[in-house]
Amino acid sequence: MAKQRRTTNVRSKQKKAPARKAVSRPSRTASKPAKASAKRGAPKRAVKAAPKRATAAPKRVTPVRTLEPAPPPVAAAPPAPPRKPGFYEAVAIYERGVQGLQRHDFAGAAELFRTVIERYPEERELLERARLYLRVCERETARNTPPPETPAEQVYAATVSLNAGDHMTALHHLQRAVTADPDNDHAHYIMASALSMRGRLDEALEHLHRSIELNPENRSQARQDPDLEGIRHLDSFRAILDAPVAPRRRARRR
């Protein structure tokens, strides 16, 4: 009887217990509209605008340079005129004089330098160096030279003194040479140079005129001789050089 009561109690308890309601799970199809409604109610997200492409930087326009007119072509320097045969002769004599100077043959070297000065007055480059070396030779020979006796020696001694700036001694030797040999054109020419440098212009013109009468070749040398600068501006000087002069021959000595 007890076992029957227990079973009945248990059964009654089971009957009395409220039945649980079955919770139906939402089907997948039902969840879709819910989500859609949720999405509709949610605020819309701001859509980021696509970044604009950076506009290309404007191209740098280089200013157009106006072309300057091209300079005219530089004309090539004209070729140097051919040397005259006299130039090579003067160079040969000058080089022989330099060699004599190196051998201490001062008298022989001085004669060669004097030849260059007298025969080739147009070769100015050689004249400057020839005059320089001539002074050296004359200074060296004057140290141990005996007093001049002949007109040629006196003219040479006068030239040495003139180059050394001793005009008085030069005039002394030249006066002796002209007295001993009045037809010595070289003595008259050197006398004209010495007198011109001393300011005795009239006497210088007389001796210059005489030297050209005796030797017309002195005319070309006088045109470029710097020792005659004292009388070059005078009209008498130009008249002497422009006047036609017939060469006079020396009388033969018996």
Q: What is the pLDDT of residue 191?
A: 92
- Does residue 197 carry a pLDDT above 80? yes
The larger pLDDT score, comparing residue 86 to residue 89, is at 89
Closest CA to 187 of 179, 195, 196, 178: 178
Which of 186-221 are b and which e, b meaning 16 or more Cβ less than 10 Å from the residue's Cβ? bbbbbbbbbbbbeebbeebbbbbbbbbbbbeebbeb
- Percent of the chain scored above 90 by pLDDT? 19
* Confidence band of 124 (pLDDT split at 50, 70, 90): confident
Q: What pTM, to 2 d.p., does this model score?
A: 0.45
The whole-number pLDDT of residue 52 equals 55
Residue 215 reports pLDDT greater than 70: yes
